[in-house]
Amino acid sequence: MGCAVSCRSNHELITKENGKKRKTCLEKNELCSAENVLTPVQIKNEVRYFKFPLSKKEVEALKNSWDHVKSRWFELLKVVFRRWFTTHPTVRKLFKNLPANSSFEELLVSKELVIHVQRIESAVDIVISKVDKIEDLILLLIELGRLHYELGVNQSHANALAASFQFGICEVFQGIDLVTESAWDSLLRFIMDIFKYGIRLEEKALNLKNKL
């Protein structure tokens, strides 16, 4: 089954409501993630504005599906890591303590990868708990991006992980309904967009520091 097209695609219809433009996703035929609502976030001495790409219905779909996703977490992450390592082999170098010359099945049960699987689950659990608190969620994701940049993660790694997660969701949860599938797709894109923003902020800060 192919993943649903998110509302960032061309499947949009511009409508007007009370004189304001709104977008309707033709794929789902409902008002959804592309509404023009910006959330102000204070980052140091600046206020930045971010668009949250999920509707209330999609947020509820995420919450309602999270227990089901968690129940198959290891199965999902097995697909995700296999895809990630296969499409971007250099990612493996980020994991310093993985056993050399091991099969993928052996890597999956290695201590370092098991710890990362658990950490990702904890991170997503926090994201789902904050999905109604957009400013808090954005600040969390920015901080995660900053921290991971210090560990050697770049924007390409983040893009590849998001794509691998989207692939994994489609592969493991093939009976998922359209709204839930699209909600996860949009959430993963949003997570990685803000995560990458955190990477860029940290990269810029370190570059400025090195010039002093």
R_g over Cα of the chain:
18
Please, are residues 62 and 37 in contact by the beta-carbon 8 Å criterion? no
Residue given tokens 């140091």 in the structure block = 44
Runs of H (alpha helix) within the chain? 56-71, 73-87, 104-108, 111-129, 134-150, 155-172, 178-211
pLDDT of residue 24: 38
pLDDT of residue 73: 96
- Residue 130's alpha-carbon distances to 82, 124, 166, 169, in angstroms, are 29, 10, 20, 21
pLDDT at 31 over 80: no
What pTM, to 2 d.p., does this model score? 0.80
Q: What is the mean pLDDT of residues 20-31?
A: 41
Q: What is the total residue count of the chain?
A: 212
Please, are residues 118 and 19 in contact by the beta-carbon 8 Å criterion? no
pLDDT of residue 168: 95
Three-class secondary structure of residue 109 per DSSP = coil
Residue given tokens 């999920």 in the structure block = 54
pLDDT of residue 208: 87
Tell me the C-alpha distance between 87 and 84, whole Å. Answer: 6
Please, are residues 153 and 94 in contact by the beta-carbon 8 Å criterion? yes
Q: What is the mean pLDDT of residues 106-135?
A: 93
pLDDT of residue 107: 86
